[in-house]
Amino acid sequence: MTDHDHDHSSSVPDWREHGVKVIPGTSLDPNTAQTPGMNRATAINNARAGAEKIWAGTVTIHANAKTGAHHHGDLESIIYVVKGKARMRWGDKLEYVAEAGPGDFIYVPPYVPHQEINASRDETLECVLVRSGQEPVVVNLDIEPVEKPEDVLWQDPIHR
């Protein structure tokens, strides 16, 4: 019997159940770790899509809002700016700064203290976020930010 002769029928995956998943943008899950000043929503994780090594979702930062300083443990993060202007601050005292606009990617290595800032006073910052792990790790840090977070009233879409 050669490799081509044996029966594969019992080991064929059910691709209908274990294949491609489409998660509508209207059905993201806001029940994930949060940082003051931003709203994260899960699109892809193990529970929702069967992903084992990555997490993906959206991040919205309201006009002129600034998050608190935080890091994501040993996870790597990639942020893709869809709309608006992002200002990132990072370092032990958030002393480094860079900006990104629509179409730009931002890479955040593990354990890097950082702060996300919406650099626009009147436009929402909308991003797609991908992380290298499943755990919703957000370690909020007690670092005095260079740009102070502001209290921004946020209303979820259901209660407007």
- The Cα diameter of the chain in Å comes to 71
How many other CB atoms sit within 10 Å of the CB of residue 47?
10
| 15, pLDDT greater than 60 | yes
pLDDT, residue 150, reads 53
Burial 109-122 (b: 16+ CB within 10 A, else e): eeebbbbbbbbbee
| 156, pLDDT greater than 60 | no
Q: Which two tokens stand for residue 123?
A: 């436009």
Q: Which two tokens stand for residue 158?
A: 């259901």
| 20, pLDDT greater than 80 | yes
pLDDT tens, residue by residue, 64-92: 888 888 899 999 999 999 999 999 999 99
pLDDT, residue 108, reads 95
Quick check: 35 and 70 in contact, CB under 8 A?
A: yes
pLDDT, residue 18, reads 79
User: HSE-up of 23 (CA within 13 Å, CB side)?
Assistant: 18
Domain ranges of the chain: 33-146
pLDDT tens, residue by residue, 144-155: 766 765 544 433
Q: Which amino acid appears at position 7 of this protein?
A: D
Homologous superfamily assigned to 33-146: Jelly Rolls (2.60.120.10)
Across the range 129-139, mean pLDDT stands at 86
